[in-house]
A = this chain, B = another copy of it.
């Protein structure tokens, strides 16, 4: 049975030694001193390891069951959800006026990593609610906000997002769900939505569905899509619950993983809905939430990699198998622990250097969300908008690969469900798909974000890398181990961008054929930058005699591994990108 311990020390290192959050002038950041963040993260970590983690395999084994229209969640989920609600964990970053705690989004992300690592399927019930509440917060009328937000902040009511239909996922312009206007200003929503996470369940008094639909007579395609609030139970004026609305779960999907979350086919049969935001501006309303939602999914990829790594590491220390090639390290035992073997270490260090670098990337992105939303910082908004598809696509691709590597450490036991490693892999797999499949993230990055605002944001990224290198070149150890490799990798990224600029205009396929490699190339440079910053922070801490020297030295060694062993992937991605579109586009579809 796997276990989970929240990496609070690592999180605090990033928050305070690297991002120096409490020194930032972003509203709310002054409160984030080390004592405060440590206390929050410790409590969240305790809940995650003691309450949520033990239910992870229960959720996987039992799954959700639909009977007579009612969905039963796995044993223990409801109790655990009550504990999460009671602790006030559901509204960490939501406004105080609706019962939230108004903490910065960066704290929501850090706390979210702990619960998602412990139990992804469970955490999604709250995560979807948070997404729906954010949409109402951003686009709802005052009445809608006061009607829904207090209950959604507390998760007494949960939320869902309804986008996909059987014949369309990415291409929502093909949508068929209809919203017919009624005399009282409401709409009758009819249609079928699929892949609706937490679409129906037994852990909340009401479920607030946000549904994309088309108002007949509106513009064709994606420009005619509007967003609606469709409550499971109608809400009376006094806030009490009324009649059941025409929204029902037709089926629960059998999935590869996240069995503890009810993935529903939702049928809307003249259900009463209320326009959220403007008519035909539904996609725009969704997109304002998109950065946060996608960063949240990137977090999931990282979280599964973290918990898988923790368990693989324990196994590698415990399991005795074979002898170190350089001489017995456990001479009194029948064999040495797995961790003496170089290839097991290579495997573990791939994981360790990814999760620690990825976490810094994730928290940096979250900080920029705060700078944008709380501080009105347009440069931060532009940069995080550029980096969001990378946070989502790169962290979930790599996160998944790392769960596969963690499983491999267990040998045959990694394939047996009882050991729990398979579940991490199966659960992590979805994050590469939902909130925009990773190919769509790559397309968004190269096709939209790169050239946005005249390429200003990618230039800002390069400036950031350059100035960090320049400021720290005097530090010889940092230069050799961190800055030089970062500079090299950053050159590859620039060359790739240049290739797109020179070729993409006359042949868009030349850019798009390299989009996936570009996303990964960019991801590695981001993690390279994070490791350079962490390397510096750790060296500073050692020099300043800040406590746990062993911790900081391990940080430096892990960073060196990333720069030496992982970052060189950038050169391969560049070569692929520069090979252009010819070999990709040459074959006719029939010739495949």
Contact = CB atoms under 8 A, between A and B. Distances in A.
A519 to B, nearest CB: 10
Contacts of A168: 321
A195 interface: yes
B411 A437 contact: yes
Interface in A339-374: 339-349, 352
A240 to B, nearest CB: 36
B575 A342 contact: no
A591 interface: yes
B170 A321 contact: yes
Nearest to A565: B576
Interface in A569-584: 569, 571-572, 575-576, 579, 581, 583-584
Interface stretch (A130-138, A290-298, A455-463, A505-513): A505-513
Given A437-B408, A564-B583, A592 B313 contact: yes
A433 interface: yes
Contacts of A468: none
A418 B251 CA distance: 13
A255 B415 CA distance: 6
A412 interface: yes
A234 to B, nearest CB: 30
A464 to B, nearest CB: 25
Interface residues of A, number: 92
A417 interface: yes
Nearest to A567: B575
**Interface secondary structure of A, over-half rule:** helix
Interface in A545-592: 550, 553-554, 557-558, 560-561, 564-565, 568-569, 571-572, 575-576, 579, 581, 583-587, 589, 591-592
Contacts of A412: 164, 169, 194-195, 433-434
Interface string A291-308: 000000000000000000
A432 B347 CA distance: 14
A167 B422 CA distance: 20
Interface string A159-202: 00000100111110010000000000000000000110000000
A247 B155 CA distance: 55
Interface in A301-338: 313, 317, 320-322, 325-326, 334-335, 337
A126 interface: no
Interface stretch (A112-120, A225-233, A438-446): A438-446
Contacts of A415: 255-257, 429-430, 433
Nearest to A447: B325
Given A171-B320, A349-B587, A404-B429, 8 more contacts: A164-B412, A171-B335, A317-B589, A349-B583, A426-B426, A561-B583, A564-B576, A564-B583
25 contacts: A169-B412, A170-B322, A254-B418, A255-B416, A317-B589, A337-B589, A342-B581, A342-B584, A342-B585, A343-B443, A345-B587, A346-B513, A347-B516, A349-B583, A408-B439, A415-B430, A415-B433, A425-B429, A557-B587, A557-B591, A558-B587, A560-B583, A564-B579, A568-B576, A571-B571
